[in-house]
Amino acid sequence: MLSIVNSMALNGINGYLISIQVDISAGMPVFEIVGLPDISVKESKQRVKTAIKNCGIEFLSRRIIVNLAPADIKKEGSMFDLPIAVGILISSNNISNKKVQELIEDTIFIGELSLSGKIQKVNGILPICIEARKLGIKKVILPKENAKEAAIIDELEIFPVENLIDVIEYLNGEIKLERQEVYIPNMKDEKQFQVDFSEVKGQESAKRALEIAAAGGHNCILIRKSRYRKNYASKKNYKHTTKYYF
């Protein structure tokens, strides 16, 4: 039986839609993933297989072919674990809800699976959700830890999940997932300081570098280098100078 589940991937900082096509048929037992997967995607075979077993579902020895389309773009990361597992469960009739196609229509699945079936956090959720909205996606099912980040994007229904069993029960119509409310971070700065950089004389390049580092949340190393320069006018006095390097 063939099933198709949608997910998304990153190409640099841009998201693009991935169609995960799963076919299970009789024949020599094999589990193959095609469509230019990298090592982390190929390793998902073991994570998916073990996670399904540890959720109490028998993983039958069948011929399983997973295609990640479009096949001419390299796929990276562990975010395809959840959609691959969902595709396998639909194709093997472990998700047997007749309305499952309605539930997964205009929906993308994203998440890494642990061996216990827990759905773990992935990177790049924000650009993925931005592109999903542009493509007309309505629902995103993703790890609970990524929910607030994704909920910044309006016009998307974000459904956080903690484990694979929750997803199976939702798609079988047994439970309803709770939607993550739109998250608007509080950018108001409540801290008041008695001093600021306006009281530092000179050192413009150092102050500018520290401002940029603070604004972007970057690391910064400040090295103080002191030296004494001889004042040849008096031939006995030395002038102390300080420079900062980054």
Where are the chain's structural domains?
Answer: 2-171, 197-245
The predicted pLDDT at position 3 comes to 94
CA-to-CA distance for 22 and 1, rounded, in angstroms?
8
Residue 229 has pLDDT above 70, yes or no: no
Confidence band of 173 (pLDDT split at 50, 70, 90): very high
Predicted TM-score of the model (pTM)? 0.75
- Sorted by sequence, the CB contacts under 8 Å of residue 102 that are 6+ apart come out as none
The predicted pLDDT at position 60 comes to 81
Cβ 156 vs Cβ 136: under 8 Å = no
Confidence band of 12 (pLDDT split at 50, 70, 90): confident
- The token pair at 229 is 């320069």
CA-to-CA distance for 172 and 162, rounded, in angstroms?
17
Give backbone dihedrals phi and psi of 164, rounded to 5 degrees, phi first: -65, -30
Task: Please list the helix, strand and coil fractions of the chain in percent, rounded to the nearest 5, in that order.
Answer: 30, 30, 40
By percentage, how much of the chain surpasses pLDDT 70?
86
Question: Residue range 60-64: average pLDDT?
Answer: 90
- SS3 label, residue 6: strand
Residue with tokens 């198709």: 4
Confidence band of 227 (pLDDT split at 50, 70, 90): low
How much is the mean pLDDT over the chain? Answer: 86
Question: Residue range 44-73: average pLDDT?
Answer: 93
Lowest mean pLDDT among 125-139, 166-180, 213-227, 230-244: 230-244
CA-to-CA distance for 1 and 159, rounded, in angstroms?
27
Question: Residue range 225-231: average pLDDT?
Answer: 56
Question: Residue range 137-159: average pLDDT?
Answer: 93
Residue 143 has pLDDT above 90, yes or no: yes
Please indicate whether residue 219 or residue 74 has the higher confidence score (pLDDT). 74
- Sorted by sequence, the CB contacts under 8 Å of residue 131 that are 6+ apart come out as 8, 14, 15, 16, 17
- SS3 label, residue 25: strand
Beta bridge partners of 17: 8
Fold (topology level) of 2-171: Ribosomal Protein S5; domain 2 (3.30.230)
